[in-house]
């Protein structure tokens, strides 16, 4: 079954054709990074306009790469939630038009489920597992019992993990987007240079939650307070110390979830899952079995949408033509979606 996947929830305009939820036949990702760089962050109005300009050609080139025509497709999957409304609307409307014109089954899917599906494009992974979704917009520790059964365990009470990377990099003028730059700088730095605190207020229902606003304030406004003066106050050392604090905060909650549930299989997804230190820490011990998507499938992409969409389509599910976008997802704290 050949499924076309369309992703436009943020600043990547991506289309893929995936066979049977696994084999990537063709995949194009057009990133808007250069267009948002002058603003050091994604500008929603620019993002939706770029999608409008690009989506038809990204789609046409992907089909040409695959040597296919719309008539060869068995279904169309698209991200409809959560994300930037204007950006989502471009992909959703395009997908509806295409599905209607070509007479193909159509399914609107969830971006969070898609990120946690991404590693399954390259390897078989059994359920249940603990999902760790860390990106510029999301920070989620969850239990997954099937591709569409997600139970939220913890989330952020303020900034998303990737957002914290981006904000710290922006403050120090390191560049945009911040995650990959901090990762690169951190490799040459010493993470003992600054001892940033881990907020320890999370008990009871916040057992698995994280908070990045305190860490961000510590790095940006109170740097000297946490500085070990035996080390140089260099961008490399700031990056390494911040990275360790941001990732260790996640790992502590994650290992708590592993202990409580007895599930030792972990699947990571989202842009921050590309982080070198996170990958090293999770791959280090024999006590957990960790799965990461390849780097190009960590950030937003159409292949994960097509892969996830296949599983809904193959069991006969279809979306209504009047399905709309959702910027945020309701009742995020319990069962999802």
Q: Is residue 30 within the footprint of ligand KG4 (CB under 6 A)?
A: no
Q: Is residue 300 within the footprint of Zn ion (CB under 5 A)?
A: yes
Q: Is residue 293 within the footprint of ligand KG4 (CB under 6 A)?
A: no
Binding-site string for ligand KG4 from residue 127 to residue 166, where x marks contact by CB under 6 A and - marks none: --------xxx------------------------xx-xx
- Going 328 to 248 to 301 to 177, the CA torsion angle's sign is positive
Inter-CA distances, 25 with 16, 17, 19, 137, Å: 7, 5, 7, 28
Residue number, 83 or 154, with CB nearest to ligand KG4: 83
Q: Which does 62 bind (CB under 5 to 8 A by kind): Zn ion, ligand KG4, none?
A: none
**Which one of the spans 46-54, 225-233, 267-275, 308-316 is the region binding ligand KG4 (CB under 6 A)?**
267-275
Q: Is residue 106 within the footprint of ligand KG4 (CB under 6 A)?
A: no
Q: Is residue 178 within the footprint of ligand KG4 (CB under 6 A)?
A: yes
Q: Is residue 272 within the footprint of ligand KG4 (CB under 6 A)?
A: yes
DSSP 235-282: HHHHHHHHHHHHHHHHHHHHHHHHHHH---EEEEESGGGG-HHHHHHH
For residue 13, the cross-strand partners are 30
Residue number, 137 or 302, with CB nearest to ligand KG4: 137
Q: Is residue 299 within the footprint of ligand KG4 (CB under 6 A)?
A: yes
- Give 150's DSSP letter: E
Q: How far apart are CA 192 and CA 211, in angstroms?
A: 21
Q: Is residue 110 within the footprint of ligand KG4 (CB under 6 A)?
A: no
20 Rama class: left (phi>0) / alpha (psi -120 to 50) / beta: left
- Give 322's DSSP letter: T
For residue 140, the cross-strand partners are 133, 155
Helix spans in the chain (H): 33-36, 44-66, 85-102, 111-117, 161-171, 178-186, 213-221, 235-261, 276-284, 302-314
Q: Is residue 79 within the footprint of Zn ion (CB under 5 A)?
A: no
Binding-site string for ligand KG4 from residue 205 to residue 244, where x marks contact by CB under 6 A and - marks none: ----------------------------------------
Residues that bind ligand KG4 (CB under 6 A): 10, 135-137, 162-163, 165-166, 177-180, 183, 270-272, 274-275, 299-300
Residues that bind Zn ion (CB under 5 A): 135, 300
């Amino acid at each position: 079954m050949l499924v076309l996947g369309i992703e436009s929830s943020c600043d990547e305009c991506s289309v893929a054709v995936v066979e049977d939820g696994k084999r990537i036949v063709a995949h194009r990702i057009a990133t808007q990074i250069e267009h948002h760089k002058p603003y050091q962050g994604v500008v929603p109005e620019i993002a939706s306009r770029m999608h409008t300009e690009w989506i038809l050609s990204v789609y046409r080139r992907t089909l040409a790469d695959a040597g296919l025509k719309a008539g060869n497709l068995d279904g169309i999957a698209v991200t409809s939630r959560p994300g930037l409304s204007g950006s989502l609307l471009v992909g959703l409307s395009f997908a509806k038009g295409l599905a209607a014109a070509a007479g193909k089954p159509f399914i609107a899917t969830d971006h969070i489920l898609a990120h946690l599906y991404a590693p399954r494009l390259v390897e078989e992974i059994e359920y249940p597992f603990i999902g760790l979704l860390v990106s510029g917009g999301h920070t989620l520790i969850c239990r997954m019992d099937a591709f569409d059964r997600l139970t939220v365990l913890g989330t952020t009470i303020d900034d998303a993990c990737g957002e914290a990377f981006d904000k710290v990099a922006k403050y120090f003028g390191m560049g945009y987007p911040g995650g990959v730059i901090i990762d690169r700088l951190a490799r040459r730095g010493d993470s003992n240079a600054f001892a940033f605190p881990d907020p320890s207020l999370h008990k009871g229902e916040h057992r698995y939650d994280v908070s990045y606003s305190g860490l961000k304030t510590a790095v940006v406004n109170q740097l000297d307070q946490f500085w070990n003066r035996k080390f140089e106050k260099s961008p490399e050392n700031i990056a390494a110390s911040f990275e360790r604090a941001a990732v260790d905060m996640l790992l502590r909650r994650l290992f708590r979830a592993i202990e409580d549930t007895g599930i030792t299989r972990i699947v990571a997804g989202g842009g921050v899952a590309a982080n070198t230190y996170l990958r090293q820490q999770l791959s280090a011990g024999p006590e957990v079995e960790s799965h990461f998507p390849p780097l190009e499938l960590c950030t937003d992409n159409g292949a994960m949408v097509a892969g996830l969409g296949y599983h809904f389509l193959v069991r006969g599910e279809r979306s209504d033509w009047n399905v709309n976008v959702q910027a945020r997802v309701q009742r995020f704290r319990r069962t999802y979606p």
